[in-house]
Amino acid sequence: MDPITAEILRIGISESAKLIFQKVLSKNWMKEYTGGRSIVEQLLSLDIQSDYIVKHISRAMKMRTIHSSENDVMLNSIYHPLTIHREGKNIKVDDKFLLSDNNITNIIGFAGQGKSTILRKILLESIKNGDKIPFFMELRKIEAKGIENSLLSIIEELGIKTDKKSLNSLLSSGNILLLLDGFDEISSKMRMDILSEIISLNRRHGVQIITTSRGGTEICTESNIINYTVNKIKRSDIMSILKKLSESQEVEEDTLQQIFHMLKGNTSLVETMNCPLLVTLFYICYPHLDSIPDSATEFYSKLFTTLYFRHDKVKNYKRERKSDIPPPEAFNVFCALCFKSIYDNKQDFTELSLFEYTKTITCVVRSQ
């Protein structure tokens, strides 16, 4: 058993899942939902219950971040309570946070705000404190198969004997929570199909669905969907996130205090670091910065160069490079690559496809 799964079992998620299954099973089930009830009964089997934790929940609780790109980290070790708002009301997504209804709820945020992390926190708290069985899916990975078929596959992979009729019975029972991450990451040609399925599942079964998306996508403007927006973080959030990051001991305590002191007098920089991703980038870059940026423009301009050279700076070593592209041109290529991949709705690359993409973009940049 890997360390992350062992940690999940240690903090009692397995026992919490068992309690949810028992709680759901003890409800008064209408005769027409017998097939759905049989799925829950099977979930109480020790082997299937263990697989639900290890094969499904554990995978969602494991994360790779820009600060831990080569090793899995546990959600709780990196999560800082973020807030979402709707109609002027702020809600902190913290321990014991629950959204329990029969609606479609969409959490909107820009890149790096922590939408996916919030959804995983909702998954964790739903297991610990909820009364519905949660299932987590990344939409970009299931867009070709669809939501309902993917859910059926997840359930069957746990060793549960079932069929679509029983699954529909379970969905209609009011005992399931679907957490669907990254609507904006679905290919443009599939978005309306997935949105139609989300709406259909909710209308036919009354199943609760929580999604995440960047702003401006089709789901954000669809009627009868409740939109929450992730708030930009404040100075106190930045301090807390930095403390959590510093537990890796990459930055010494004295240096951390210097950062805190510097942030207290630099309102412009605080306003620039308005999401967890930018705070993490600042933390990574800080030991290698020649000077502290005073503005948003300077902050972003320093990020690329600092990340580009940071390993060599640490070792006082000029690495032999396979490319003869100077840093300013590399920056332009990087920006163009980002723009083109977003324009093409391309989020996943193999080493070969990224090489070909970069090669094409480099030719375009050099021709300008």
Domains of the chain, each with CATH number or no CATH: 3-230 (3.40.50.300), 235-297 (no CATH), 327-367 (no CATH)
Please name which of 12, 16, 6 lies closest in space to residue 134, comparing C-alpha atoms.
16
Write the pLDDT tens digit of every residue in 295-337.
777 777 777 777 776 544 444 445 556 677 887 888 889 889 9
Whether residue 255 is predicted with pLDDT greater than 80 in this model: the reply is no
Q: pLDDT, tens digit, for every residue of 330-353?
A: 888 988 998 888 888 787 788 888
- Write out pLDDT tens, residues 194-218: 999 999 999 999 999 999 999 999 9
Whether the pLDDT of residue 9 is over 90: the answer is no
SS (H, E, C) the chain: CCHHHHHHHHCCHHHHHHHHHHHHHCCCCCHHHHHHHHHHHHHCCHHHHHHHHHHHHHHHHEEEECCEEEEEEEHHHHCCCEEEEECCEEEEECCCCCCCCCCEEEEECCCCCCHHHHHHHHHHHHHHHCCCEEEEEEHHHHCCCCHHHHHHHHHHHCCCCCCHHHHHHHHHCCCEEEEEECHHHCCCCCHHHHHHHHHHHHHHHCCEEEEEECCCCHHHHCCCEEEEEECCCCHHHHHHHHHHHHCCCCCCHHHHHHHHHHHHCCHHHHHHCCCHHHHHHHHHHHHHCCCCCCCHHHHHHHHHHHHHHHHHHHHCCCCCCCCCCCHHHHHHHHHHHHHHHHHCCCCCCCHHHHHHHHHHHHHHHHHC
Model pLDDT, residue 275:
93
Average pLDDT score over residue span 155-163: 96
Residue 152 has pLDDT above 70, yes or no: yes
pLDDT for 331 equals: 85
Higher-pLDDT residue of 356, 176? 176
pLDDT at 317: 45
182 falls in which pLDDT band (50, 70, 90)? very high
Confidence class for position 248, pLDDT limits 50, 70, 90: low
pLDDT at 310: 55
The span from the CA of 105 to the CA of 172, in Å, is 18
* CA neighbor of 21 nearest in space, from 2, 37, 7, 33: 37
Q: pTM of this prediction? A: 0.85
Residue 68 has pLDDT above 70, yes or no: no
| Residue located via tokens 């993917």 | 150
Q: What is the pLDDT of residue 313?
A: 47
Given a cut of 90, is residue 180 above it in pLDDT? yes
pLDDT at 67: 66
